Amino acid sequence: MAIPKPYFSIVLPFGLFSVVLLLNYIVVLVSSSYSFHNQVVNEENENDLLLLHQDYTPPAPPPPPPRPPSVLSCEEDLGGVGSLDTTCQIVSDLNLTKNMYIEGKGDFFILSNVVVNCGFLGCELAVNVGGNFTMGDLSFIYAASFELLANSAYFGNGSVVNTSGLAGEPPAQTSGTPLGLNGAGGGYGGRGAACVMDKEKLQEDVWGGDAYGWSLLEKPWSYGSKGGTTSKEMDYGGGGGGRIKLSLVTNLEVNGSLLADGGDGGSHGGGGSGGSVYIKAFKMTGSGRISASGGTGLGGGGGGRVSVDVFSRHDDPNIFAHGIICRICST
């Protein structure tokens, strides 16, 4: 059977430099045989391109209701120093127990070594500031969804925004999590992998979770999916990758890591699929790591999606969105 190839497409709308990275269909046990092919498409035939794929995504839902005006205070609610309308600095570790929407006109800093932890499944953290956003060296953010609107953003050396394995629900009517008890990987940007458990079937006929979200290709904003389990009682599947969206008016510098990888399913579950990273900025620098890859597991998770839309890019960040093959494929 033909091996579906991953593809890498470069889209050039309105002269902006825009990359949609999609590594789909990583095939069980054939990791060495996949390859990229490059395609330059305009907006019109990009739609044709999308039509070539089955689309599991229902028509776009209506836009969410506007968020309530923020009533957060830098000092009282975030334990920080200063004010959200001038300069707010998060100076010590912060544990969030509910979704958080931070808004102000000023600059926002998470100082070096500080951990902002919104580490429950589906936790949404949004920061909307008129000034610049800075994460100091070795600072951390854990959340399922991290959305940033700012003038510029700086991610210091060793800083990490980690949404790996923390996904909330994938879009309605998608089937990223595989059925059955094969411990297959979750799907999203690509299909998950599955190991043959049934001697009657050929390896290439066995797949994990489905791919979905084609209609959001240029602005990916779906969670990854959980991997399958091998047990009726225990859910061993790795969690789906989360979502990161950065919308900057001017500069983005990434010396740290922006992670939306699928979670690890261990030896009894499938890996979660990678989530989404969407970046829009005027200028991008830094050589950090941006990743929405599938998690490891009995069957590996499918790749997620990364889209980078910048007018000028100066350094080469390391961008990954690949799927993972089976780790343990004994039958």
Ligand X SMILES: *[C@@H]1O[C@H](CO)[C@@H](O)[C@H](O)[C@H]1NC(C)=O
For binding to ligand X (CB under 6 A), which residues are involved? 93, 95, 107, 117, 131-132, 151-152, 154, 156-158, 160, 162, 164-165, 250-251, 253, 255, 257, 259, 263, 286
Instruction: Give yes or no for a contact between 104 and 70, defined as CB atoms under 8 angstroms apart.
Output: yes
Number of Cβ within 10 Å of residue 75's Cβ equals 12
Task: Select 160 or 324, whichever has its Cβ closest to ligand X.
Answer: 160
Residue of 183, 172, 169, 271 whose CA lies nearest to 223: 169
Task: Select 55 or 235, whichever has its Cβ closest to ligand X.
Answer: 235
Tokens of 50: 């999308």
Residue 159: CB minimum distance to ligand X, A: 8
Task: Select 34 or 108, whichever has its Cβ closest to ligand X.
Answer: 108
Between CA 301 and CA 294 the distance in angstroms is 4
Residue type (1 letter), 169: E
User: What contacts 48, CB < 8 A, 6 or more positions away?
Assistant: none
Q: Which residue is nearest to ligand X (CB)?
A: 152
Task: Select 93 or 169, whichever has its Cβ closest to ligand X.
Answer: 93
Residue 287: CB minimum distance to ligand X, A: 7
Q: How far is CA 284 from CA 16, 246, 277, in A?
A: 13, 12, 15
Instruction: Give yes or no for a contact between 262 and 295, defined as CB atoms under 8 angstroms apart.
Output: yes
Residue 206: CB minimum distance to ligand X, A: 27
Residue 279: CB minimum distance to ligand X, A: 15
Residue 28: CB minimum distance to ligand X, A: 23
β-partners of residue 319 are 290
For 250, half-sphere exposure in the C-beta direction (CA atoms, 13 angstrom radius) is: 7
Residue 13: CB minimum distance to ligand X, A: 23
Task: Select 164 or 230, whichever has its Cβ closest to ligand X.
Answer: 164
Instruction: Classify 45 as helix, strand or coil.
Output: helix
Task: Select 103 or 253, whichever has its Cβ closest to ligand X.
Answer: 253
Task: Select 271 or 302, whichever has its Cβ closest to ligand X.
Answer: 271
Residue 103: CB minimum distance to ligand X, A: 18
Between CA 80 and CA 317 the distance in angstroms is 31
